[in-house]
Amino acid sequence: MRRWINFLCHLALFGALTSFVTFSSTKEIVDVPETLKVVEEAYFIYPQLEDKAAYVSSNLIFLGDSYLGFRESLAFKESKGDYRVTNTLGYLGKYQFGASTLKLMGVYDTQNFMSNPILQERIFDLNVARNKWILRRDIKRFVGKKINGALITESGIVAAAHLAGAGNVKKYLRSYGKIDFSDAYGSTIKYYMNKFSGFDISQIHAQHNPKI
């Protein structure tokens, strides 16, 4: 009898609580306030195996076609955004730079590079400026045209240069897509041109031989 009394008491309590709850089958669309949108990058340190620290950029949300959107989208394709990654070919960090490219911009200590997220972001910006300078005539000539059915944009050109080098991008553009490049993992200039098309990267200006 005591069990039944306990059961009925719980049932009555549940009924009383649910009487205050209303359910709706319609979905509400909520606009995110401007003050809550991420407009600047921020880094968080969190523990990984063997007590290593890694940095994760929080600015993947609401970036759209901005320069930060371009940077983080490319980083996700290269390394899932992980500053500590070295791939099977020896490319380093969040943006998978080769040691020879780093030296062009004044970085000779790869261990420091791998442990320094701020330096990695700075080098990425400098490399964009460098590729814009090398490809400045091709950007002026080909942006707005279509090659292999795809619209050519400045961000697509710069992303492809990150993958294959500015020289190979010149060959691709000047051959109107007949000469392509594929890396060891199968990514091509055409693919990068399409995937990273349409971002606004105008805040980074072309720079000849930039160094830190």
Q: What is the pLDDT of residues 9-63, one digit of tens each?
A: 555 555 554 554 454 445 455 455 554 444 444 444 333 433 333 333 444 456 7
pTM, full prediction: 0.72
Q: What's the pLDDT tens digit per position in 143-184?
A: 999 999 999 999 999 999 999 999 999 999 999 999 999 999
Cα–Cα separations (whole angstroms), residue 177 to 40, 131, 186, 197 = 36, 19, 16, 16
Place of tokens 């980083």: 75
Between 17-26, 47-56, 87-96, 128-137, the lowest mean confidence (pLDDT) is in 47-56
Q: What angle do CA 114, 86, 99 make, to 5 degrees?
A: 65
Q: Please, what is the angle between helix 67-79 and helix 117-134, to 10°?
A: 110
Residue pair 157/193 in contact by the 8 Å Cβ criterion: yes
CA–CA distance, 102 with 90 (Å, rounded to integer): 13
End-to-end distance of the chain based on CA atoms, in angstroms? 81
* Structure tokens given for 37: 């949108």
Q: What's the CA gap between 193 and 188, in Å, rounded?
A: 9
Beta strands in the chain, from DSSP E residues, in sequence order: 43-47, 53-57, 146-147, 150-151
Is residue 102 within 8 Å of 92, Cβ to Cβ? yes
User: Following DSSP, what letter does each residue of 54-113 receive, concatenated?
Assistant: EEEE-TTTT-TTSHHHHHHHHHHHHHTT-TT-B-TT--BTTTTB-HHHHHHTT---HHHH
Give the residue-averaged pLDDT of 110-137.
98
Please state which of the four CATH numbers 1.25.40, 1.10.530, 1.10.730, 3.30.450 is assigned to the domain occupying 35-195: 1.10.530
What DSSP character marks residue 36? G
- Structure tokens of 130? 């460098």
CA angle 196, 197, 200 (to 5 degrees): 95
Q: How far apart are CA 142 and CA 122, in angstroms?
A: 28
- DSSP 8-state secondary structure symbol assigned to residue 209: S
Residue 139 reports pLDDT greater than 80: yes
